[in-house]
Amino acid sequence: MADCEVAVLTKTQVGRRRFLKRAGVGAAAGLAMAPQGVAQTAGSVEPTGPVEPGSDFMLDVIRSLGIEYCAANPGSSFRGLHESILNHGGNQNPELLTCLHEESSAAMAHGYAKIEGKPMMIMVHGTVGLQHASMAIYNAYCDRVPILIIAGNILDANYRRGNAEWVHSVQDVAAMVRDYIKWDDNPVSLTHFAESAVRAYKVSMTPPYEPVLLVADGKLQEEPIGRDEEKNLRIPKLVMTAPPQGDTGAVKEAARMLVAAENPVIVAGRVARSQHGIELLLELAELLQARVHDQRLRMNFPTSHALYGNPGVLPLNPNVSDADVLLGLEAQDLWNFTHKMTPVNRFGMESQSVMKPGARIITVSAIELNHKSNYQDFGRYVEADLAITGDAEATLPALIEEVKRALTSDRRRAIEDRGKKVAEANEQARKQNRELAALAWDASPISTARLSAEIWAQVKNEDWSLVSWDRMMSSWPTRLWNFSKYYQFIGTHGGSGMGYGLPAAVGAALANRKHGRLTINIQPDGDLCYAPGVLWTAAHHQIPLLNIMHNNRAYHEERMYIALLGAKYDRSPEKSDIGTALKGPNIDYASVAKGFGLYSEGPIENPVDLGPAIKRAIERVKKGEPVLLDVVTQPR
Amino acid sequence: MRTILIALLAGTASWAQNPNAGNLANGKKLFEAKACYECHGWRGQGGLAGARLAQTKLNLKAFRNILRNPPPSNMPPYRAPVLTDQEISDLFAYIQSFPAPEPSWRLPLLKD
CA angle A144/A490/A266 to nearest 5° reads 75
Report the DSSP pairing between strands A339-340 and A352-353: antiparallel
**Chain A residues in contact with B75 (beta carbon < 8 A):** 343, 564
Q: Cα separations (Å) of A94 from A56, A97, A492? A: 13, 9, 26
Fill in the DSSP letter of residue A334.
T
Torsion, Cα B3 B5 B10 B12, to 10 degrees, reads 150
Q: Is beta strand A545-550 parallel, antiparallel or unpaired with respect to A626-631?
A: parallel
pLDDT tens profile A377-424: 999 999 999 999 999 999 999 999 999 999 999 999 989 888 888 888
Select from A340, A342, A435, A439 the residue whose CB has the most chain B CBs within 10 Å, as the one to mutate to test that interface. Answer: A439
Kindly state whether B100 is in contact with chain A, defined as any CB-CB distance less than 8 angstroms. Answer: no
pLDDT at A314: 54
CB A415 within 8 A of CB A263: no
Cβ-based contacts of B107 with chain A (< 8 Å): 438, 441, 453
Residues 6+ positions from A513 with CB-CB distance below 8 Å: A519, A543, A544
pLDDT digits (tens, 9 = 90+) for B90-112: 999 999 999 999 999 999 999 86
Pairing type for strands A626-631 and A386-389 reads: unpaired
pLDDT tens string B35-54? 999 999 999 999 888 899 99
Q: How far is B36 from chain A (nearest CA, A)?
A: 9
Closest CA to B109 of A478, A305, A449, A617: A449
Q: Which of A598, A76, A557, A328 is nearest to B47 (CA)?
A: A557
What pLDDT score does B1 carry?
A: 34
CA nearest to A568 within chain B: B76
Q: Is pLDDT above 50 for A35?
A: no
A511 pLDDT above the threshold of 80:
yes
- pLDDT reading at A69 higher than 70: yes
Indicate the SS3 state at residue A554. Answer: strand
Give the strand order in the sheet containing A464-466.
A464-466, A518-524, A545-550, A626-631, A599-604
Nearest chain B alpha carbon to A446: B42
pLDDT of residue A250: 98
Residue type, A510: L
pLDDT digits (tens, 9 = 90+) for A586-615: 999 999 999 999 999 999 999 999 999 999
Distance CA A126, CA A305 (A): 48
What is the predicted pLDDT for the residue at A18?
Answer: 47
For residue A380, the 8-state DSSP code is S
What is the percent of chain A with per-residue pLDDT over 90, rounded to a whole number? 79
**Cα separation of the two ends of chain B:** 48
Question: Does B15 or A495 have the greater pLDDT score?
Answer: A495
- B107 contact A CB<8A: yes
**Average pLDDT of the segment spanning A607-625:** 98
Residues A178-227: pLDDT tens digits?
A: 999 999 999 999 999 999 999 999 999 999 999 999 999 999 999 999 88
DSSP state of A74: -
Q: How far is A572 from chain B (nearest CA, A)?
A: 5
The answer to whether A103 and A128 are in contact (CB under 8 A) is: no
Closest CA in chain A for residue B37: A635
- Is A491:A469 a contact under the CB 8 Å cutoff? yes
Contact residues, chain B, for A564 at CB < 8 Å = 74-76
Residue among B4, B34, B36, B38 with most chain A CBs within 10 A, to mutate: B38
- Cβ distance A634 to B42 less than 8 Å, yes or no, reads yes
Cβ atoms within 10 Å of B15's Cβ, excluding its own: 18
| Strand A183-185 to A264-268 pairing | unpaired
* C-beta atoms of A434 and B102 within 8 A: no
pLDDT (average), residues A2-21: 39
CA A290 – CA A418 distance, rounded (Å) = 8
Q: A6 falls in which pLDDT band (50, 70, 90)?
A: very low
Residue B52 contacts A where some CB pair is shorter than 8 Å: yes
Chain B neighbors of A340, CB-CB under 8 A: 72
Which residues of A fall within a CB distance of 8 Å from B105? 434
Q: Which parts of A248-381 fold into alpha helices (H)?
A: 248-260, 275-288, 335-338
pLDDT higher than threshold 60 for residue A245: yes
pLDDT of residue A139: 98
A-chain residue closest to B54, CA distance: A439
Work out the average pLDDT over A502-508: 98
CB contact under 8 A, A436 and B42: no
Minimum-distance CB partner of B48 among A346, A474, A576 = A474
Model confidence, pTM: 0.91
Chain A contact present for B43, CB below 8 A = yes
- ipTM value > 0.90: no
Residue A359 has pLDDT above 50, yes or no: yes
Which of B48, B55, B82 should one mutate to test binding to chain A, selecting the residue with the greatest count of A CBs within 10 A? B48
Residue A254 CB neighbours (<10 A): 26
- Model confidence over A310-353: pLDDT tens digits? 765 554 556 789 999 999 999 999 998 898 876 555 555 678 89
User: Per-residue pLDDT for A442 more than 90?
Assistant: yes
A367 neighbors A375 (Cβ within 8 angstroms): no
* Cβ–Cβ below 8 Å for A573 and B82: yes
Residue A51's pLDDT band (cuts 50, 70, 90): confident
More confident site: A121 or A13: A121
Q: Alpha-carbon distance B93 to B15, whole Å?
A: 14
A453, A474, A559: residue with CB nearest B38: A559
Nearest to B109 among A454, A559, A571 (CB): A454
Nearest-CB residue to B102 (from A436, A441, A565): A441
Question: Do residues A126 and A152 touch, judged by C-beta distance below 8 A?
Answer: yes
DSSP 8-class letter at A473: G
- The number of beta carbons lying within 10 Å of the beta carbon of residue A360 is 17
Interatomic CA distance for residues B84 and B87, integer angstroms: 5
What type of residue sits at position A422? V
User: In this structure, what DSSP letter does residue A308 have?
Assistant: B
B102·A560 Cβ contact <8 A? no
Q: Which residue has the higher pLDDT, A211 or A21?
A: A211
In this predicted structure, the answer to whether residue A262 has a pLDDT above a threshold of 50 is yes
Residue A48 has a pLDDT of: 55
Q: Do A634 and B41 touch (CB under 8 A)?
A: yes
H helix or E strand, kind and range, residue A399: helix A392-406
Question: Closest residue of B to A452, CA-based?
Answer: B109
Predicted pLDDT of residue A568:
84
At residue A411, the pLDDT reads 92
Q: Which residues from chain B sit within 8 angstroms of residue A471, using beta carbons?
A: 48
pLDDT at A349: 64
Sign of CA dihedral A247, A248, A249, A254: positive
Interchain contact, A635 vs B41, CB within 8 Å: yes
Contact residues on chain A for B44, CB-CB shorter than 8 A = 439-440
Which residue in the set B50, B54, B109 is minimally distant from A453, CB to CB? B109
- Cα gap A275→A218, rounded to integer Å: 42
Provide the pLDDT confidence category of residue A518 given band limits of 50, 70 and 90.
very high
CB proximity list for B84: less than 8 A, separation 6 or greater: B14
For residues B73 and B76, give the distance between their C-alpha atoms in angstroms, rounded to a whole number.
Answer: 8
Would you call B107 and A435 a contact, using CB atoms and an 8 Å cutoff?
A: no
On chain A, the residues whose CB falls within 8 A of the CB of B102 are 438, 441
Indicate the residue type of A297.
L
A574 Cα to chain B: minimum distance (Å): 5
pLDDT of A337 reads 85
H or E element that contains A505: helix A501-513
Q: What are phi and psi of A213, to 5 degrees?
A: -130, 135
What's the mean per-residue pLDDT of chain A?
90
Using alpha carbons, select from A589, A573, A180 the residue that is nearest to residue B82.
Answer: A573
DSSP A564-600: HHHHHTT--GGGTTTTTB-TTTTP-HHHHHHHTT-EE
Tell whether B46 is within 8 A of chain A (Cβ).
Answer: yes
**Stretch A567-590: mean pLDDT:** 94
User: CA–CA separation, A410 vs A407, rounded Å?
Assistant: 8
Nearest Cα residue to A390 out of A246, A249, A269: A246
Identify all chain A residues contacting B77, using CB atoms and an 8 Å cutoff: 343, 567-568
Q: Which residues contact A625 (CB under 8 A, 6 or more apart)?
A: A539, A542, A544, A598, A599
* C-alpha distances out from residue A212 to A46, A141, A333, A535, Å: 37, 9, 24, 26
CA of A533: how far to CAs of A72, A537, A600, in Å? 13, 7, 15
- Spatial distance between the Cα atoms of A281 and A158, rounded to a whole number of angstroms: 57
Chain B hits for A443, CB-CB cut-off 8 Å, are: 41-43, 45
Nearest residue, CB atoms, A343 vs list B47, B73, B102: B73
Going by their DSSP bridges, the two strands A464-466 and A386-389 should be labelled as unpaired
Question: Which residues is A356 bridged to in the sheet?
Answer: none
Q: Using a CB–CB cutoff of 8 Å, tell me whether B74 touches chain A.
A: yes
Verify whether the Cβ–Cβ distance A440 to B48 is below 8 Å: no
Query: B112 touching A, CB under 8 A?
Result: yes
Question: Which of the two residues, A624 and A18, has the higher pLDDT score?
Answer: A624
Closest CA to A63 of A41, A86, A35, A83: A35
Using CA atoms, how far apart are residues A635 and A472, in angstroms rounded to an integer? 8
Q: What is the pLDDT of residue A320?
A: 87
Check CB contact under 8 Å for B35 and A563: yes
A635: nearest CB among B37, B75, B112: B37
pLDDT over threshold 50, residue B8: no
CB-CB contact of A238 with A26 (8 Å): yes
Compute CA distances A629 → A107, A550, A620, whole Å. Answer: 22, 9, 12
Asked if B54 and A439 come within 8 Å (Cβ–Cβ), the reply is: yes
**Which residues of chain A are within 8 Å of residue B104 when distances are taken between CB atoms?**
434-435, 437-438
Q: Distance between CA atoms of A112 and A146, rounded to whole angstroms? A: 10
End-to-end CA distance of chain A: 28
